[in-house]
């Protein structure tokens, strides 16, 4: 069986690598039971370090929109150079609240 592919960075997600389900519309904003995608944990962390729940619900409820965000696009270019099993603390500053 092949590893699933992370829709954000396009790298395989090995079974032994931290991973999680991302609600495209945050649960707190009406997305409970809505569509989810499996991501590397590092990719999921970067999404939530970059965008608020309101921004995710309003403007970034698709993978295409997430990939187009300038900070996430920069992160994707960076993480694509790493092996699929790469894990790290979320790079860069967290978003301001």
Tens digits of residue pLDDT in 65-81: 999 999 999 999 999 99
Q: Which residues contact 76 (CB under 8 A, 6 or more apart)?
A: 8, 9, 10, 67
- Asked whether residue 88 carries a pLDDT value surpassing 80, the answer given is no
For the entire predicted model, the pTM comes to 0.87
Angstrom distance (rounded) from CA 15 to CA 4 = 9
pLDDT value, residue 30: 86
């Amino acid at each position: 069986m092949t590893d699933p592919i992370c829709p954000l960075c396009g790298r395989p997600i090995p079974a032994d690598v931290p991973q999680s389900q991302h609600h495209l519309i945050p649960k707190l904003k009406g997305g409970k039971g809505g569509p989810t995608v499996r991501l590397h944990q590092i990719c999921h962390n970067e999404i939530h370090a970059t965008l608020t729940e309101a921004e995710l619900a309003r403007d970034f409820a698709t993978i295409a929109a997430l990939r187009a965000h300038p900070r996430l696009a920069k992160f994707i270019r960076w993480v694509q150079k790493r092996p699929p099993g790469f894990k790290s603390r979320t790079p860069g500053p967290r978003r301001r609240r």
